[in-house]
Structure 1
Amino acid sequence: MYRRISLIGVLCLALIFIAANALPTAAQDGPQSLVSGLNSPRALYVADDGTVYVVEAGMGGTTPTGMTGPSGLEALSGATGRVSTLAEDGTLTPVLSDLPSVDLGGSETAGPTAVAVTESSLWVMFNGGPMSHPLYFSLVELDAATHRIKTSIDLFSYEATENPDGKEVDCNPIDFAIAEDGTIYIVDAGGNDILTWTAEDGLQTLMVWENNDVPTSIDLGPDGNLYISFLTPFPFPEGGARIDVISPDGDLVKQYTGLTLAVNVAVTDDGAIYAVEFGRFDLSIADADTSPWVPNSGRVVMVSDDGVTPVAEGLNFPYALAQDADGNWLVTNSSAYSEPGSGEVLLIEAGM
């Protein structure tokens, strides 16, 4: 089973406010900071050999894009995204550097968002940025040894042509998972759909949600089903998010409700379900100087028929979740609405 998790571009749907500057991370009694100094850390992925991969969306750059971000500021692009491996001692080794990144303003960044590794390939997903750059809105297969492009899947063109949910064309590829038979399941948070891709059939629509449910991540469970987390529409009510369990044929098997701003889901080999809650969104505190995004309100939770059980609380806009070979949980923290270089990967020891 591939474990990685990955969103942030999707949160642009609600950003009519300028996010707060320099939001501090709360002191942690439980989780330990394994590595810091990251820029918009997103997905985590643990390969079959135990290697941990970390994706950073970056911090944009200084090149004007002609785009206006959700905060109303001009979006500026650069080559600050990267994919790295993370050692047990916290050493970060870049695998892919100088990847495209765009600063959308208000401490919001888009760029590389998810990664997966197969025997001979490295797959990297990119979400929104200038349409003139061929990597944005795509899933790219790279040769594992040379890093040359083997396959490029254009997700924006599919959304523009097919528009599965029938609403405004909106592409925000956010996560993907690769099944044992090679089928790739793709989450498009903007398009509100799950796509499949195979070399034989190309892109196909598997699931569509027409009420702007905003799917955010996917994991493949040991039962063969797909586990999909949902953000829920603006204004992101507490307890309004959920996880859907879907068969490979697209049939709804089960739902778990009562989550808030669920941005990632991970299923262990024994079927236990964990999720990341990004935080709380509170319009009552918002004004010209205060963002509605509440810092240090994120959580890692366990989800079951009995409800939602906190595993780690007080996290600062966490994003991705992955379990290492020793059963510990790794979590990306300060993934957005934070100062450049303030991102980190936290370690939650097994049994906490």
Structure 2
Amino acid sequence: MKNYSVLGLLCLIGIFITGCSNESVPTAIPAQEESSLMNPASLKANHNGDGGFTGFIFDLATAPNNEILVADAGAGISTRHGEILFSLEGASSVAPVGTGVMWVTTWPWFGAPTEDSGQGIHLVTKGRTKMVANLFEFESENNPDGEEELDSNPYAVYAHNASFAVVADAGANDLLKVHNNGNIELMAIFPPEMVSTENLKNLVGCPDSGAGPCGLPDMIPAQAVPTSVTLGPDGYYYVGELKGFPAPTGESNIWRISPGASGAMCGSSPDCMKAFDGGFTSIIDLTFDENGMLYVAELDEQSWFAVEFLDSFAGGNIKACDPETMQCEVIATGIPMLTAITFDKDGRLWATQNSLIPGLSEVIEISL
């Protein structure tokens, strides 16, 4: 896939590499007076979680024993209290399917997403880890979205048994079904869309700053960058997209994919249609509650670009959305570096904050 290479923090660590751009970006971003880091604007949270994780934390999931599991890229899979259950560097997402049994994806921990650098899906059984499939190899052999440059960044996994898992690859812009014998099926491909450059221009102070993005057209194509996958109560998979460069606001979609989808081109195949046509900014995670409400986590309300380049950013939001009425309610705002949410078996909602700052990242409870 097209690799947008810039010098921003998140691009350097490869998290949102497909969301960056080789367009000229300013070497100096207009500074804000105060940083919003660790200073959420309007966060309804109970601070009974724990912090101090060793790496970037990308995902949360609830184990059968109701323990909150954390995908810590610097260590592996931990509990929310910081106890490491097993080591696996580069862990980006976790899906427990039984006591001590879980699927885990790893992102390109050892290099760029445009090369074979650790992108895989693993099945863990009682602490023993087995790589089931090398997802960069699948990308290099198939390149489903047809972009010139190969790119794989397995960012999210969903599973409800040990037979197969469903993976959203943010670099490859696709959804894969991976069987425990290593066979991989292409379920869906997420297409680029024309989006506005207005948010990016505002963030870099156009027109006064004269920064590179000021010369961009009003609309340019952006890659989907799927960052989340969950199963809805209707039996369909729901996938949220970050939306790549130029980091627009309000243009991230949520897709609804048939469990039987095979090579579906989203937007044109009836097996992959929009559940929500835009309306979100930089989606980073999705989960359903027991009542069928879809909870959407947005990395930052000013987009991922604000997190990468600005000294001050607004923080992420959590929204509760009704898939039937299409109405959404904001549950929490101003969460710094929000990357993941999950419900435990008691109906409590958990979220990450400061997730991209090793040693300061933590898991918190969100009041509903």
Question: Fold conserved (TM > 0.5)?
Answer: yes
Shift >3 Å, 4+ stretches: 7-10, 15-23, 131-135, 280-286
1:83 matched to which residue of 2? Answer: 77
Question: Could you tell me which residue of structure 2 aligns to residue 71 of structure 1?
Answer: none
Structure 1: segments with no counterpart, 5+ residues: 1-6, 59-80, 101-110
Match of 1:36 among 13, 34, 51: 51
> Hey, what's the Cα distance between the residues in 2 that align with 1:205 and 1:190?
14
1:204 to 175, 179, 185: 185
Pairwise CA RMSD of aligned residues? 3.1
1:269 aligns with 2:290: yes
- Counterpart CA distance in 1 for 2:347 and 2:304 is 38
Q: How many residues align?
A: 300
TM-score, structure 2 normalization = 0.73
User: 3-state SS of the aligned residue for 2:309?
Assistant: coil
Amino acid at match of 1:240: E
**C-alpha distance in 2 between matches for 1:295 and 1:316:** 8
Whether the 8 Å CA contact 1:264–1:277 is kept in 2: the answer is yes
Query: Is 1:323 aligned with 2:305?
Result: no
Pair 1:294–1:234, CA change in 2 (3 A): farther
Structure 2 alignment gaps of length 5 or more = 1-10, 193-222, 262-270
Q: Note the C-alpha offset of 1:191.
A: 0.3
Preserved contact between residue 285 and residue 297 of structure 2 (Cα < 8 Å): yes
Show the counterpart of 2:245: 234
Q: Following superposition of structure 1 onto structure 2, how do residues 1-352 of structure 1 map, counting pairs within 5 Å?
A: 9-13=14-18, 14=20, 24-27=37-40, 30-33=44-47, 34-38=49-53, 39-58=55-74, 81-86=75-80, 91-97=81-87, 99-100=88-89, 111-119=90-98, 121-130=101-110, 136-144=118-126, 147-167=127-147, 168-180=149-161, 182-199=163-180, 202-211=183-192, 212-250=223-261, 251-256=271-276, 257-281=278-302, 291-292=309-310, 294-304=312-322, 305-336=325-356, 338=357, 340-349=358-367, 352=368
Structure 2 residue identity aligned to 1:346: I
Residue 117 of structure 1, CA deviation? 2.1
What letter matches 1:139 in structure 2?
I
- 2:123 & 2:360 partners in 1: Cα distance? 29
CA distance in 2, matches of 1:348, 1:83: 22
- Residue 298 of structure 1, CA deviation: 0.7
Shift of 1:171: 0.3
Taking only the aligned residue pairs, the percentage that are identical comes to: 26
Supply the AA of the counterpart residue of 1:272.
Answer: M
Larger displacement relative to structure 2 (310-319 or 182-191): 182-191
Deviation at 1:123, TM superposition (A): 2.3
Determine which structure has the larger strand proportion and give its number. Answer: 1
> Partners of 2:146 and 2:315 in 1: how far apart?
34
Matched residue type, 1:155 = L
